[in-house]
Structure 1
């Protein structure tokens, strides 16, 4: 009888987990580990994503991070940057202060509709007859009615004017409300709780007014974007306990600017106003036409960007110098935003 041999049974093909079944991921608050996921698993066009990242690298970018449900889909660095390198994020830090103010409001330490004089005392502006009617919410919505000299131009609450000296008063407000310095307060309620160890506030002066400006790593920017994406929750823990705060801060606040909330920029409206004179007219259309309508963004001078897209569960961060595609010296949204999202749209296939 001739012996015969049989081949071992073939191993079953590897199981590919449907990424839609993956729970949201949050990186550890200490250390450098951070889970990744391939864009191809998400149905992204990886060639288009690579092209978008390559283009960003030609635009004086120093770092780009893309997260999906908290996992890193793409991360690139240029000009000697690393994940540990931090630098000023300009007005993108306004959205960080918004979150901190929201937590103080939730805890009852800060009343948004109270006059700013409650926390700053009288004489903080150069319009003593008007300042008693300027609320904390007015300052956060860039509708204080003040100009860069803190003098009244229009009545509070009636017009949008992107006013850094007025915004800087919010640091005095939150420090008085909490009884803590801005760095101690930020570490206690936010930074330490989500691992933003590479972020620090530094003094900054704009047209004579002292305020603070944040220096962050690209990964810290991504951490903050991830917290916002999850409406203040981090790995099941309510860091900013009032999730309604994000809904409120992502709602158009100034009566004449549908593209601005409480220190956040909003996409998807039929018009918006950009930083500029009080008489600057509204621009027709969405802030970034090629981006998803539900995109919200922390935007800073020099094309510092934290984009949050709830519908796609994405956070996209860009750090660097002012992009070559920007032209001029944009304080917030620039032509870079639209050009980049035209490329990202091809990658994310929405």
Structure 2
């Protein structure tokens, strides 16, 4: 991964300079929420003192983050910045990759396309891509819906790597009967491009990125489509999700879709929605295993938290009950134990965040 990571750090300055069961319903009303201006780096702040948090816990948290290879860390409270910190040569204009945390961008844009009547996630994928987009028999391929892609239960063999060409998309089980973490979700980008008669990038930029003042771009490398942006752009996305899909007075994606996306989407992995990870469930599954684990995904985190989790510990945590959006970007926190999504770092980090906010 390092080979392609550092090849794209040179784009940082360019990109940085451009101008419980229904967690969303727990959000405060819109008039209490703050949104930073679209075409400005201005962003209002909220002090730890005003919040009544434990100020003495901040520096130990920051020291821990720096020691864990963090590049950036932000906490928003009701939209306002409480702390914004950069480490290890990173800055507020540097860009970094979202890895699989960016799956939630695809989920959200899928909701936008459905809101506009371009797609219906309950329809089969072949309605939009035509038949033969996999190597399955026609009857098995036609079982796979867009919702299966968003829920990671397409039934496609997850042991063959990230290549999503038809030759590599092989039948493992009937759609809906097996949960497995697989890059085949990216086919939703092709679905949206076909349904909108636009490129994925054009639709994404127009319908989401530009409407909330994000910067950044998708980079296609090694059969992966990876989003790169500044930390504040990631925070803008997290804030829009926290605000029930709104940005100020504009509804970017419907609240009803987000309610579906941030609740259990299938009956196998309780801790997974539409490409969002869900805390507070009684069990969960993880990538690259068919084992079921008992208990909450991140025990130290609030039960109503939902998260975008990416390789090497890219994080967006959204916590409606605490009015928080938390961002972490960087290299893998524990190099001896890299993971694709959840890691032991999540629970350790939340233990230290709790010391600050409680």
Could you tell me the TM-score, scaled by structure 1's length?
Answer: 0.89
| Cα distance in 1 between the residues matched to 2:221 and 2:308 | 19
Match of 1:233 in 2: 246
**Contact 1:169–1:211 at 8 Å: present in 2 too?**
no
Match of 1:77 in 2: 86
**Contact 1:175–1:181 at 8 Å: present in 2 too?**
yes
1:161 and 2:161 are equivalent in the alignment = no
**Contact 1:64–1:75 at 8 Å: present in 2 too?**
yes
**Contact 1:288–1:337 at 8 Å: present in 2 too?**
yes
**Contact 2:155–2:173 at 8 Å: present in 1 too?**
yes
Report matched runs for 1:1-350 at 5 Å: 23-129=32-138, 130-148=140-158, 149-164=168-183, 166-197=184-215, 199-205=216-222, 210-240=223-253, 242-277=254-289, 280-324=290-334, 327-349=336-358
In structure 2, stretches of 5+ residues that fail to align are 1-28, 159-167
Q: Which has the higher contact order (CA 8 A, sep 6+)?
A: 2
SS in 1 for 2:142: helix
| Cα distance in 1 between the residues matched to 2:257 and 2:66 | 35
**Contact 2:74–2:81 at 8 Å: present in 1 too?**
yes
SS in 1 for 2:299: coil
**Contact 1:266–1:296 at 8 Å: present in 2 too?**
yes
| Cα distance in 2 between the residues matched to 1:66 and 1:263 | 22
| Cα distance in 1 between the residues matched to 2:30 and 2:98 | 34
**Contact 1:159–1:255 at 8 Å: present in 2 too?**
no
Count of matched residue positions in the alignment of Structure 1 and Structure 2: 320
CA RMSD of aligned residues (A): 1.5
Larger helix percent: 2
Deviations 1:73-122 (A, max 9, x none): 00100122111111211000000111100010111101101110011111
How has the CA–CA distance of structure 1 residues 216 and 21 changed in structure 2, closer, same or farther, with 3 Å as cutoff? closer
Bigger-Rg structure (1/2)? 1
Could you tell me the TM-score, scaled by structure 2's length?
Answer: 0.87
| Cα distance in 1 between the residues matched to 2:350 and 2:59 | 13
Query: Cα distance, 1:44 vs. partner?
Result: 1.2
Deviations 1:144-177 (A, max 9, x none): 000133111111011210011x112111111111
Query: Cα distance, 1:49 vs. partner?
Result: 2.7
Query: Cα distance, 1:204 vs. partner?
Result: 3.2
SS in 1 for 2:298: coil
**Contact 2:155–2:178 at 8 Å: present in 1 too?**
yes
